[in-house]
């Protein structure tokens, strides 16, 4: 008896984890615009220490032992026939792809600045992009970060840590940043930013220029709709959370009014019991928290249940953001719970315990060595 065929559209963080979970139970085909996992996590480390970031967050697919039986296609998604159960894509050379499926996982994520863009890239282009953004930030004498989320806070903290002589300022719209986290998180992180001499400016909402997609590091003055005088810096980093779902290849009737994929509590698309969505592209809740709450295990279970007639489980979204905010620092990695409690992995444990055993072996089920960043 042949195994079911599952197509995973998008191999970012959520897509890769789902593929690894399903590989033992189905013939899995993953379609990705990138030549490996190019994570959208830890922007601060990506910009300030790209070699370190690439070691843990840019992983070619053939390094994942859990994907050894999975077929990965490097292509751009162009459409889908949900009733006929086929996904369409285009290779870099223009060649068409038509992939049949018994179940489909939509995990194409969102566009959110230059670090999360949907376009087709080669390994060389990914390397060049990492170097270019890092070098532009390194050459700047002053850095202005706009935004109040974890990407903004992490970018400001890591720039200040890596280049202590730079003038680094963080501007955010509310009276405090990290508003989707527990209030205790900002209180603690704010003290760390002060220790790093990051200048904080609450109550500043930026005027976004017409047609600007927030997808580049700029240099011009920033104007504020909240009435303050313009501010300038050698490098301006726009991390304002302007999220656009990567769903242009999907039919409009499965999308909500904002372009995200509508899903049930079981992560299925209404009316299509073998079509699923996970991650930032899925309209699970206001925080789209299936991207950060290890919903891949639940989704893999529900796909197997849908194919075999078993019972599915409901996804219960978190009400607050949690996890690391500023990433690995000289004193280790601080991680926050949804209730704002902090616990720390000491510095010695990152490369001896956390990455090799918890992440690479436990979460990813085995990752071969060697970083693609040359």
Contact (CB, 8 A) for 108 and 100: no
Average pLDDT value over all residues in the chain: 94
Give the distance, in angstroms, between the CA of residue 321 and the centroid of all CA atoms in the same chain: 14
CA distance 289 to 346: 27
Which strand (E) or helix (H) includes residue 343? strand 342-345
Total residues belonging to the chain: 374
pTM confidence score: 0.94
Contact (CB, 8 A) for 3 and 90: no
Q: What is the mean pLDDT of residues 291-313?
A: 93
Domains for the chain: give ranges and CATH numbers.
Answer: 5-121+243-308 (3.50.50.60), 125-238 (3.50.50.60)
Contact (CB, 8 A) for 55 and 370: no
Taking only the tens place, the pLDDT of each residue in 23-72 is 999 999 999 999 999 999 999 999 999 999 999 999 999 999 999 999 99
Q: What is the mean pLDDT of residues 80-100?
A: 96
> What is the share, in percent, of the chain residues with pLDDT greater than 90?
90
| Residues in CB range of 103: below 8 A, 6 or more apart | 4, 5, 6, 7, 26, 274, 275, 276, 303, 306, 307
Dihedral sign for Cα 89, 71, 244, 240, please.
negative
- Decide if pLDDT at 293 tops 90: no
- Decide if pLDDT at 213 tops 80: no
Taking only the tens place, the pLDDT of each residue in 340-352 is 999 999 999 999 9
């Amino acid at each position: 008896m042949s195994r079911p065929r599952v197509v995973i559209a998008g191999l970012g963080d959520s897509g890769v984890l789902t593929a690894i979970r399903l590989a033992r139970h189905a013939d899995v085909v993953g379609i990705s615009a990138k030549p490996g996992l190019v994570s959208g996590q830890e922007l601060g480390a990506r910009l300030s220490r790209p070699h370190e970031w690439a070691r843990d967050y840019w992983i070619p697919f053939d390094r994942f032992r859990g994907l050894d039986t999975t077929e990965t296609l490097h292509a751009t998604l162009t459409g889908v026939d949900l009733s006929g159960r086929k996904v369409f894509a285009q290779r870099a050379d223009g060649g068409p792809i038509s992939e049949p499926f018994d179940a489909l996982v939509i995990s194409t994520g969102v566009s959110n600045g230059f670090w999360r863009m949907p376009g087709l890239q080669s390994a060389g282009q990914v390397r060049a992009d990492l170097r270019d953004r890092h070098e532009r930030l390194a050459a700047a004498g002053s850095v202005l970060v706009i935004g109040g989320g974890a990407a903004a806070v992490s970018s400001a903290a890591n720039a200040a840590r890596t280049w202590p002589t730079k003038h680094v300022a963080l501007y955010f719209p509310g009276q405090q940043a990290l508003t989707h986290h527990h209030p205790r998180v900002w209180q603690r992180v704010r003290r760390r930013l002060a220790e790093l001499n990051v200048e904080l400016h609450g109550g500043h909402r930026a005027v976004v220029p017409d047609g600007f997609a927030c997808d580049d590091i700029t240099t011009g003055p920033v104007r504020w709709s909240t009435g303050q005088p313009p501010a300038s810096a050698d490098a301006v980093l726009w991390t304002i959370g302007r999220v656009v779902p990567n769903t242009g290849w999907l039919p409009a009737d499965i999308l909500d009014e904002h372009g995200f994929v509508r899903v049930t509590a079981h992560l299925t698309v209404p009316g299509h019991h073998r079509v699923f969505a996970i991650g930032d592209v899925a309209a699970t809740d206001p925080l789209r928290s299936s991207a950060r709450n290890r919903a891949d295990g639940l989704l893999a279970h529900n796909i197997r249940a849908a194919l075999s007639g078993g019972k599915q489980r409901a996804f219960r979204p978190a009400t607050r953001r949690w996890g690391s905010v500023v990433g690995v620092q000289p004193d280790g990695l601080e991680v926050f719970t949804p209730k704002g409690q902090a616990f720390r992995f000491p510095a010695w444990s990152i490369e001896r315990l956390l990455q090799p055993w918890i992440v690479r072996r436990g979460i990813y089920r085995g990752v071969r060595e060697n970083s693609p960043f040359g």
